[in-house]
Amino acid sequence: MNEFSQISKNFSSSEGKDLKLKALNGFKDILPGETELWRQVEDRARDVFARFNFAEIRLPILEKTELFARSIGETTDIVEKEMYTFIDKQITLRPEATASLLRAYIEHGLYVQKPVQRLFTVGPMFRHERPQQGRLRQFHQMDAEVLGSANPRVDAELMTMGSMLLAELGLNVSLELNSLGCPACRPAFRESLLSFLGSRQDALCEDCKRRSVTNPLRVLDCKNPNCRAIVADAPSIQEHLCPECATHFQAVQDGLDQLGIVYSLNKFMVRGLDYYCRTTFEFITADLGSQSAVCAGGRYDGLVEQLGGPKAPGIGFAMGMERLVLLLLQKEQKIEPPAEIDIFIAGLGGDASRLAFSLMQGLRKAGARVTMDLDARSLKSQMKQADKAGARHVLMIGEEELAKKAGMLRNMATQEQREIPFGDEGLRMLLEATAAGR
């Protein structure tokens, strides 16, 4: 007996009777009602991305583990402890989209087709973290990346796109900006940070004691209040930028100013992925506790090359959809009801129900949204169902209607009723009523 049949045997055995199958911790169903809100968020994003000339790319959910280790960085939280990896196969459920997108960009030579590629992708990501509100193990991101340009205006434009989308969703967020410098200026900053941390080791939290050796920049964004108080006086990366990075950083700010995007500088924001250089940014909300970042991103100029591709600088952001939806729910944003039904056909009895079944198909083929009760319950029950479905019309077919060869169409808003003959003429009248109601 294999493992699976053992599990299912246990489940169906008597002691397993009370055992309810539930989704895994941190994995969530998105139910009808809420899916409408998700679609509104995604539709709005697609609309804004299109205005900024981004094209969609769809990527696999599984990748070689090596891709993430090489791009995100061996000593990051994600790679050290958050990845879902099938150890025997050396493959990993993607924890983020940038690495996969770059892999596809290189694999398909997308840089040959266009000097600058603007791409977006939407989908689930997987990280083994402690689930809480706004933090799941399967979560969803809308990810946008620009590859092939180091122009600081691209940075400003990308942040503007994020800002516009969040504003059009009606969300109140603030933009925080930093520059992490480049391989030319970061080592000197790292040294000065290390010597600052060196004398304060004892006061740091355990994680930061370890980080000050493996990844000292991460100490700057530790959430521990003690560590925060200590690093408040730490040297600022913004004051250690080489002339090229300083010019770039200034030009990014000029671009944002020109486009009217408000931001504040945050020298503590270092981001949890190794591949960032120069511009990093986060859109922050005050309404989700410690899950305050709704969108985060930055520049990663050496990464394409590091993954075996051409010299192509890049910048991108990822927006967390769960957090956007939570914010919209908090605002009691009116959720659009699901697509309304044009006609509910209430067939009473076997013959009427049979007729209704083919009429429904004719109407659906012609583009109408139609439903019926296939079990042909009582008229009262069917009227209730029509109401629940938000049906604009109910077409009643009972014995009398069968004899007359005409159904009775009721407009649910006005309660007006009129006869609709069976056959092509009736179908035309029904479609007319449908179109008029929309």
Q: Applying CB under 6 A, which residues contact ligand ATP?
A: 96, 127, 129, 134-136, 139, 141, 272, 291, 293-296, 318, 320, 322-323
In the complex, least distance from residue 292 CB atom to ligand ATP, rounded to whole angstroms = 7
Residue whose CB is nearest to ligand ATP in the complex, by number: 320
In the complex, least distance from residue 323 CB atom to ligand ATP, rounded to whole angstroms = 5
Q: Which residues contact 133 (CB under 8 A, 6 or more apart)?
A: 288, 289, 291, 326
Specify the residue for token string 């790292």. 190
Identity of the residue, 136 or 180, whose beta carbon is nearer to ligand ATP in the bound complex: 136
In the complex, least distance from residue 421 CB atom to ligand ATP, rounded to whole angstroms = 56
Identity of the residue, 323 or 369, whose beta carbon is nearer to ligand ATP in the bound complex: 323
Identity of the residue, 269 or 368, whose beta carbon is nearer to ligand ATP in the bound complex: 269
Torsions phi, psi for 178 (to 5 deg): -150, 170
**Strands 277-284, 174-179: pairing kind:** antiparallel
Q: Which residues contact 377 (CB under 8 A, 6 or more apart)?
A: 385
Identity of the residue, 272 or 390, whose beta carbon is nearer to ligand ATP in the bound complex: 272
**What DSSP letter does each residue of 79-101 carry, written as one string?**
IIII-EEETTTTEEE-S-SHHHH
Q: Judge residue 28's burial from the number of C-beta atoms within 10 Å of its C-beta, 0-12 exposed, 13-18 middle, 19 or more buried.
A: middle
Identity of the residue, 270 or 433, whose beta carbon is nearer to ligand ATP in the bound complex: 270
Gap between the Cα atoms of 70 and 298, Å rounded: 17
Q: Which residues contact 384 (CB under 8 A, 6 or more apart)?
A: none
In the complex, least distance from residue 223 CB atom to ligand ATP, rounded to whole angstroms = 9
In whole angstroms, what separates CA 367 from the centre of its chain?
30
Q: How far is CA 325 from CA 47, 140, 191, 330, 338, in A?
A: 17, 11, 42, 9, 17
Identity of the residue, 261 or 295, whose beta carbon is nearer to ligand ATP in the bound complex: 295
Specify the residue for token string 């009691």. 332
In the complex, least distance from residue 26 CB atom to ligand ATP, rounded to whole angstroms = 8
In the complex, least distance from residue 284 CB atom to ligand ATP, rounded to whole angstroms = 9
Identity of the residue, 293 or 345, whose beta carbon is nearer to ligand ATP in the bound complex: 293
In the complex, least distance from residue 333 CB atom to ligand ATP, rounded to whole angstroms = 18
